[in-house]
């Protein structure tokens, strides 16, 4: 059964058509309220106890672990950004001269610069798999090119579950299998997929999964999550946060310095990750995402976009085939004769918010959107042709 529209849970004005959650999510009303409660708690610091630094953090980790099918929440770290998580990963990888780090063309900057820096450090090489120029079976051919590029020289494969700019799906099961055959690490950036697209660590077995928390996970800007597999169990964190050490709950004994970290990924959590404002918002956000279920979110988005996709293809737009793209986020290549600036003006007049990527528009939707939203969008595009 398809989920009903959930706009009543948000504060989005009726006249706004928001199709840009891939840039920034709106807050649920419950997340908004949780943030206000957190601000008020800081106004009354005498209410903040020792447990405030630890118990809510455990709850957040357990919720995220449940979302991505991880048994032990101690494999989850609280991070402030995807770049922090990726830097932590790179900080714990040693390469040999001539090793290759495999990326796809046009990865988001945070998932490029960190690998460029690591390659330069060890005199290794970046291998970038280009998106095929052809539109026919492009997603399938791109996946084939990625698999064919993994070799004995490959030390790290790093990419998203989907391509962040147009929603192309990457076949992580096959990529994981090929990477394992060549003893390569698989590092996944789930920022544009986890929360809206089903993802199972048990199924994919990545060495690390890094997620920004302010998009499909509906957290505040400045929060994120990371899963670390066995390869990173005894690694070095970027900073020495007091609360990551063993027995740090014993606040009266903090200067009895502890050489050991808490188990597994706890060592990688950023300082002040127990932010009383953020953590309350994150808990409410993750509870709701889990209740909805990513599979149901995909089904809903497919239903409300189906007619619009057909119509856009009929007027000459290119959209990747269904089996090689997601439904919550997808790119639309516009007809060459369409005036982009005219379309931007038209969309602004109609209060429609999307992202432009050259001759592409990136559409990202959720349970607060409707078929009518997509009718408005397609009418604007048609009017500009």
Summarize pLDDT for 35-67 with one digit per residue, the tens: 999 999 888 888 888 888 899 999 999 999 999
For 244-264, what is each residue's pLDDT tens digit? Answer: 999 998 888 889 999 999 999
Integer Cα distance of 289 and 252 in angstroms: 37
Residue for token digits 């609280």?
78
Q: What pLDDT was estimated at residue 352? A: 98
Q: Please check whether residue 68 is in contact with residue 200, taking contact to mean a CB–CB distance below 8 angstroms.
A: yes
% pLDDT > 70, the chain = 100
Instruction: Collect contacts of 82-85 with beta carbons under 8 A, ≥24 apart.
Output: 82/110, 82/111, 82/189, 82/191, 82/210, 82/211, 82/212, 82/224, 83/110, 83/114, 84/224, 84/238, 84/270, 85/208, 85/210, 85/211, 85/224, 85/225, 85/226, 85/268
Distances (CA, A) of 17 to 57, 215, 224: 34, 17, 26
Strands 352-353 and 17-18: parallel
Token pair listed for 276: 């009383």
The alpha helices in 224-370, defined as continuous H runs, are: 276-292, 294-314, 340-349
Q: Which residue has the higher pLDDT, 77 or 276?
A: 77
Residue 375 confidence class, pLDDT cut points 50, 70, 90: very high
For 282-311, what is each residue's pLDDT tens digit? Answer: 999 999 999 999 999 999 999 999 999 999
Integer Cα distance of 75 and 295 in angstroms: 24
For 231-248, what is each residue's pLDDT tens digit? Answer: 999 999 999 999 999 999
| CATH code, 7-27+293-383 | 3.90.1150.10
For 89-132, what is each residue's pLDDT tens digit? Answer: 999 999 999 999 999 999 999 999 999 999 999 999 999 999 99
Q: What pLDDT was estimated at residue 163? A: 96
In this predicted structure, the answer to whether residue 198 has a pLDDT above a threshold of 70 is yes
DSSP string, 30-70: HHHHHHHHHHHHHHSGGG--GGGGTHHHHHHHHHHHHHTT-
Residue 147 confidence class, pLDDT cut points 50, 70, 90: very high
Integer Cα distance of 187 and 158 in angstroms: 5
Distances (CA, A) of 45 to 37, 201, 243: 12, 38, 19
Helix, strand or coil for residue 226? strand
% pLDDT > 90, the chain = 92
Residue 2 confidence class, pLDDT cut points 50, 70, 90: confident
Integer Cα distance of 208 and 316 in angstroms: 40
Which of 177, 212, 235, 223 has the alpha carbon at shortest distance from 80?
223
- pTM of this prediction? 0.96
Integer Cα distance of 170 and 160 in angstroms: 8
Query: What mean pLDDT is predicted for residues 122-150?
Result: 96
In this predicted structure, the answer to whether residue 165 has a pLDDT above a threshold of 80 is yes
Class of the 39-291 domain? alpha beta
For 335-367, what is each residue's pLDDT tens digit? Answer: 999 999 999 999 999 999 999 987 899 999 999
Q: Please check whether residue 118 is in contact with residue 101, taking contact to mean a CB–CB distance below 8 angstroms.
A: yes
Q: Please check whether residue 130 is in contact with residue 76, taking contact to mean a CB–CB distance below 8 angstroms.
A: no
Integer Cα distance of 337 and 108 in angstroms: 28
Backbone angles phi and psi of 261, in degrees to 5: -90, 165
Q: Where are the domains of the chain?
A: 7-27+293-383, 39-291
Token pair listed for 63: 């919720």
Mean pLDDT score of the chain, rounded to an integer? 96
Residue 1 confidence class, pLDDT cut points 50, 70, 90: low
Residue 135 confidence class, pLDDT cut points 50, 70, 90: confident
């Amino acid at each position: 059964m398809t989920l009903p529209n959930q706009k009543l849970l948000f504060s989005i004005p009726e006249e706004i058509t928001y199709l840009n959650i891939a840039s920034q999510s709106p807050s649920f009303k419950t997340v908004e309220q949780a943030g206000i409660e957190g601000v008020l708690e800081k106004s009354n610091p005498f209410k903040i106890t020792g447990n405030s630094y630890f118990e809510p953090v455990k709850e957040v980790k357990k919720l995220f672990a449940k979302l991505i099918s991880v048994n032990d929440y101690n494999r989850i770290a609280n991070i402030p950004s995807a770049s922090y998580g990726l830097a932590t990963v790179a900080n714990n990888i040693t390469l040999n001269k001539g090793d290759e780090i495999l990326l796809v063309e046009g990865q988001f900057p945070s998932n490029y610069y960190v690998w460029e820096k690591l390659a330069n450090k060890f005199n290794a090489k970046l291998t970038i798999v280009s998106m095929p120029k052809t539109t026919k079976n492009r997603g399938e051919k791109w996946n084939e090119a990625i698999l064919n590029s993994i070799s004995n020289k490959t030390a790290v494969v790093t990419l998203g579950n989907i391509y962040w700019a147009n929603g192309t799906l990457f076949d992580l099961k096959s990529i994981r299998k090929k990477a394992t055959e060549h003893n390569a690490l698989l590092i996944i950036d789930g920022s544009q997929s986890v929360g809206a697209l089903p993802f199972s660590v048990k199924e994919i077995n990545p060495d690390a999964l890094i997620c920004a928390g302010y998009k499909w996970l509906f957290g505040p800007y400045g929060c994120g999550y990371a899963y670390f597999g066995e390869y990173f169990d005894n690694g070095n964190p970027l900073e020495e946060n007091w609360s990551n050490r063993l027995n740090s709950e014993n606040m009266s004994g903090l200067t009895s310095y502890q050489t050991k970290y808490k188990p597994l990924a706890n060592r990688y959590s950023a300082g002040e990750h127990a932010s009383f404002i953020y953590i309350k918002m994150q808990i409410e956000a993750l509870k709701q995402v889990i209740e909805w279920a990513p599979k149901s979110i995909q089904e809903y988005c497919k239903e409300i976009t189906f007619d619009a996709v057909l119509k856009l293809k009929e007027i000459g737009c290119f959209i990747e085939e269904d089996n090689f793209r997601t439904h919550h986020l997808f790119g639309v290549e516009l007809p060459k004769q369409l005036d982009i600036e005219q379309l931007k003006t038209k969309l602004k007049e109609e209060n429609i918010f999307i992202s432009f990527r050259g001759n592409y528009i990136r559409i990202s939707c959720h349970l607060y959107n409707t078929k009518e939203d997509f009718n408005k969008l397609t009418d604007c595009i048609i009017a500009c042709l």
